[in-house]
A and B are shown apart, each in its own frame.
Chain A
Amino acid sequence: MNLDNKYKTASIALIVVMAIGVLSWLVTLVTTPKWGIMVTNFIYFVGISESAIFIVVMLRTANAKWAKPLFRLGGLITYSFIPMAAAMFVVVLLGQGAFFYWIGGEGSSNPWLNPLFFTVRELLFFVLFYYFAYRIFKISMNNDDIEESGVDRSLLLRNVPLLIIFVVHQSIIGWDMAMTLYPHFLSTVFTIRFWVTNVYGGFAAMILIMAALKRYFGVKTIEAVHFFNLGNLLLAFSVFWIYFTWADFFPFWYANLPEETPVLYGVMFSKEFSSIHTLRLALGAIPFVILTFSKVRRNTSVLQVLAVVILIGIWIERYLMVIPPLISEEKMSYSPMIGITNILLSVGLLGGFILSLIFAANRYESIITREPKPELDHH
């Protein structure tokens, strides 16, 4: 990898951070395995990175011409994370026996909770998603999505399959990696909440990454209007987040069924997690209130700060989905608020995410910095 000097220092630092994080986690495999934090980071980073291409394909399908400079960038974000996503995926698959109660020990007669079926469906949709994502990314790098054979054909062959597979893939990850951790618990809106929150985080991540690409890689095609429009979409998805979170809470509160309320109240009112939960709600509600002011959406700096707040909030939400049901497995030297391994691994994987972005941006610098081709007017 031929990196410019200015990125070499950063890359070396990030490699070190990542190595420390991963090694510290690997060490725990020998002592007290901490699978919860690995699963948390897996669903978080894979969800955010996959959302990037989902967002740009959604905008492209809606014929959002203002978003043309973003089409390449969304694909780049998803493409750059493929190696790390694959590595984390393999690790999680290998460790499934450690965190799924229904494998080996207790067992289950539920046909969905079958290790072979689990592996096959996860692998299938993982491969399918990245196949379509890679194809779309390659096209956007080669010729800026110019479709010589008409808009409808590309919709049919690439964009729509990617949109569908993203939704199905994220639904399956949400069910398998978060919901099924609670025995006999079902919430049908859980999976929708899961991937909508991912897309919400994807918008926030895109804002940050676009700002970084503009600043450090000189991508001039990104302008203030793009940040403003992404800010508008961020507001819309913050409303979606509030709506789906409420839809997942309210029926359980009202119905008060004993198989559902422990899942809810075990997080909301337990002494370990209640403060984190309150923090999480605040980190979801405050950006919504601030984003309602259009001056905020026109201010790129404030948008970036809000994006960071949103991403932290989503990480905490993933943490609260995964760790509480697994806490009994990791009780020894476990602390929900501070766990040195948790922090090191999470920061390390974040470092890896940024590192992969740097590598990809550096490799495709000449393409991402050039002007998009003018589009043929199909209408």
Chain B
Amino acid sequence: MAKHTAKEPIDPRLDDSTIDENIPWPNVNRDMIRVLNTNTWMYYGGLAFFVTMVLISAAIFYNMTTKGLGLLGENNAVFWGLDIPAFIFWIGLSHAGTFLSAVLFYARSNWRRSIYRYAELMTLFSLLNVFMILTIHLGRPWRFWFGMPVPFNGRFLWPSYRSPLAWDLIAITTYTTGSALFLYLGMVPDFAGLRDHVGGWRNKVFKVASLGWRGTDKEWKFLVQAYSLIGAMIIPLMASVHSLVAWDFVNTMVPGFHNTMFAPFFVAGALYSGIAGVIMLVIPIRRMFHLEDYIRISHFDKLGRLMLLLAFVWVYFQSIEAWGAWYKQDSFETFAFLAKAIGPWAPWYWFMIAVCGVMPMALFSRKVRTNLPVMLGGSILINIGMFIERFLIIVPGESITHLPSTWKYYVPTVHEVFIYIILPLSLFGTLFMLSLKIVPHLSLYEIKEILTVPMRPAVETPEAIPKSRAHDIKAEIEVDSETELFSDVDDIIDEKKEEGEEDG
């Protein structure tokens, strides 16, 4: 129950400030099994929708591969259209998982325990989307192989390590591997917890995945060590991956790209869209699987505060970008910015400012942060705005370069919209929905750590009894049947005392 001052009225929605620590431990296991076995119309409907969209988008992609890249809107000037904004968007979305699981782990924030698993799954599937987009955007997908630093690619081709694109490949591979391992490591005890109490095909999967986990002190010690180490390493990796992606642009001379602040700008924007993405996922999941006991309103309050902070950071970076374009007094840089602000891209730019800069100021209000439909709608808008932001970073600068004769406007085609927006979204949705049937949603042990540990209540007797004496009394109690063990110790001790008094 949240305490309050005399002047502040109690907001009933804030009564559930954190997880109720009196939830019995078996309930956590039961709820996780229930969730894995729950099949609702919402779930099946969602899965069917995503699978359908994947199939349609795949068909359109196949159409493009047979008819050629001319079906896309890219041209000589704008060689990166929707593909690279999509790539950056999905990398950005992946950062929230690392932030919630690793950064908040080190910050000892207990509220992350209920939601970080979803964020980590979001990270993993976002990164799979990134690989898909990267492969598709090459045009000739087999070139992906030739970018790998292996001596046996059949062409004796080595990537040039002077190219930021080569660094990207290694960085994203590292990040994907690390995120997958981090996710898996945290799930090993949870797989064990579910292995023991589910049957069917899941039992077989969990048996393999749990690595024979038994919950010994040594296993816990090594798990905590490994988790802490990987967490400590994945935090700087998170920053470096998106910084490398930013340096793809910064290390060029395209107007609007050569901005040294892009590295932290991209990282902050990634966290921003990632937190919005987590909110977008967790609200429907909470409703779908009735996880109100574990995902409380206060979680969204805290996520909302994080988003507010990141909105300020985002506005700060946008202001610096605008200031830099103005200060530089360089006709190309300034013109590239003006093309966004008052030129052909202006409606998109001001829409982005409105939804990512102005609208989140409503998050100052606790009423807004704790209103789930508003948070869901706002998060969707923020993510749309952030996609547009990445688009506006890349496309206007490309379309208006140093040579006016090469200027070309860019309009994405339907094929591009399906291949680079709808296909990744629906593939992400499909993978996520499928994973909800296999992966433990909540970390059983992390949740139990903040619940009341099962403790035998302290024995109260008239005289002060040292602990060892209390055990002597317990030893006198003859255990006739198993049920005796579960009787209230106090009653048994009182009984014994009465017998002692009767005997004189």
* B3, A377: Cβ atoms closer than 8 Å: yes
* B5, A247: Cβ atoms closer than 8 Å: no
Query: In the complex where A167-B316, A188-B321, A254-B251 touch, is A150 in contact with B327 (Cβ < 8 A)?
Result: no
* B324, A378: Cβ atoms closer than 8 Å: no
Chain B, 4-25, contact with A by CB distance < 8 Å: what is the 0/1 string? 1101100000000110000000
**Cβ contacts under 8 Å, B259 to chain A:** 188
Chain A, 147-168, contact with B by CB distance < 8 Å: what is the 0/1 string? 0111010011000000010010
Q: How many residues of B contact A (CB 8 A)?
A: 35
* B3, A152: Cβ atoms closer than 8 Å: no
- Does residue A266 face the partner (Cβ distance < 8 Å to B)? no
**Cβ contacts under 8 Å, B326 to chain A:** 111-112
Smallest Cβ-Cβ distance to B313: which chain A residue: A167
- Does residue A30 face the partner (Cβ distance < 8 Å to B)? no
* A187, B260: Cβ atoms closer than 8 Å: yes
Smallest Cβ-Cβ distance to A186: which chain B residue: B328
Query: In the complex where A251-B258, A255-B252, A376-B5 touch, is A243 in contact with B17 (Cβ < 8 A)?
Result: no
A-contacting residues, B145-162, CB 8 Å? none
* A190, B260: Cβ atoms closer than 8 Å: yes
Chain B, 314-350, contact with A by CB distance < 8 Å: what is the 0/1 string? 0010001100101111000000000000000000000
Query: In the complex where A150-B5, A239-B236, A243-B239 touch, is A188 in contact with B247 (Cβ < 8 A)?
Result: no
* B260, A189: Cβ atoms closer than 8 Å: yes
A138 CA to B49 CA, complexed, in Å: 59
A188 CA to B171 CA, complexed, in Å: 24
- Does residue A365 face the partner (Cβ distance < 8 Å to B)? no
Contact of A378 among B3, B260, B263, B329 (CB under 8 A): B3
Residues of A in contact with B, size category? 35 or more
Distance in angstroms from B149 CB to nearest chain A CB is 20
**Cβ contacts under 8 Å, A243 to chain B:** 239, 243, 263-264
* B260, A251: Cβ atoms closer than 8 Å: yes
- Does residue B395 face the partner (Cβ distance < 8 Å to A)? no
**Cβ contacts under 8 Å, A188 to chain B:** 259-261, 320-321, 324
- Does residue A248 face the partner (Cβ distance < 8 Å to B)? yes
- Does residue B250 face the partner (Cβ distance < 8 Å to A)? yes
Contact of B263 among A167, A247, A252, A377 (CB under 8 A): A247
A376 CA to B259 CA, complexed, in Å: 46
A10 CA to B348 CA, complexed, in Å: 62
Query: In the complex where A109-B329, A149-B7, A188-B324 touch, is A248 in contact with B260 (Cβ < 8 A)?
Result: yes
Contact of A255 among B8, B258, B312, B328 (CB under 8 A): B258
Smallest Cβ-Cβ distance to A243: which chain B residue: B239
A148 CA to B4 CA, complexed, in Å: 10
* A257, B253: Cβ atoms closer than 8 Å: yes
* A186, B324: Cβ atoms closer than 8 Å: yes
- Does residue A192 face the partner (Cβ distance < 8 Å to B)? yes
Chain A, 245-277, contact with B by CB distance < 8 Å: what is the 0/1 string? 001101110110100000000000000000000
A376 CA to B364 CA, complexed, in Å: 21
**Cβ contacts under 8 Å, B479 to chain A:** none
- Does residue B448 face the partner (Cβ distance < 8 Å to A)? no
Chain A, 219-234, contact with B by CB distance < 8 Å: what is the 0/1 string? 0000000000000000
Distance in angstroms from B40 CB to nearest chain A CB is 33
- Does residue B2 face the partner (Cβ distance < 8 Å to A)? yes
Distance in angstroms from B75 CB to nearest chain A CB is 25
* A150, B261: Cβ atoms closer than 8 Å: no
A167 CA to B320 CA, complexed, in Å: 12
**Cβ contacts under 8 Å, B239 to chain A:** 243
* B5, A191: Cβ atoms closer than 8 Å: no
A379 CA to B10 CA, complexed, in Å: 11
A251 CA to B252 CA, complexed, in Å: 9
Distance in angstroms from A231 CB to nearest chain B CB is 14
- Does residue A244 face the partner (Cβ distance < 8 Å to B)? yes
- Does residue B366 face the partner (Cβ distance < 8 Å to A)? yes
**Cβ contacts under 8 Å, B260 to chain A:** 187-190, 247-248, 251-252
**Cβ contacts under 8 Å, B243 to chain A:** 243, 247
Query: In the complex where A148-B7, A255-B253 touch, is A247 in contact with B316 (Cβ < 8 A)?
Result: no
Distance in angstroms from B503 CB to nearest chain A CB is 51
Chain B, 214-257, contact with A by CB distance < 8 Å: what is the 0/1 string? 00000000000000000000001001000100010011110000
* A251, B5: Cβ atoms closer than 8 Å: no
The winner among A175, A251, A257, A379 for most chain B CB atoms within 10 A is: A251
A-contacting residues, B452-502, CB 8 Å? none
**Cβ contacts under 8 Å, B258 to chain A:** 251, 255, 257
- Does residue A110 face the partner (Cβ distance < 8 Å to B)? yes
6 pairs, A vs B, C-beta closer than 8 Å: A112-B327, A152-B366, A155-B364, A167-B316, A189-B264, A250-B251
Where the two chains meet, the residues of A that have a C-beta atom closer than 8 Å to any C-beta of B are 109-112, 148-150, 152, 155-156, 164, 167, 171, 175, 186-192, 239, 243-244, 247-248, 250-252, 254-255, 257, 376-379
Q: A247-B260, A376-B3, A378-B3 are in contact. List 4 more A-B contacts (CB 8 A).
A: A149-B7, A167-B316, A186-B327, A243-B243
| 9 shortest interchain CB distances as A-B pairs | A188-B261, A189-B260, A189-B261, A254-B251, A251-B250, A188-B324, A247-B263, A377-B3, A187-B260
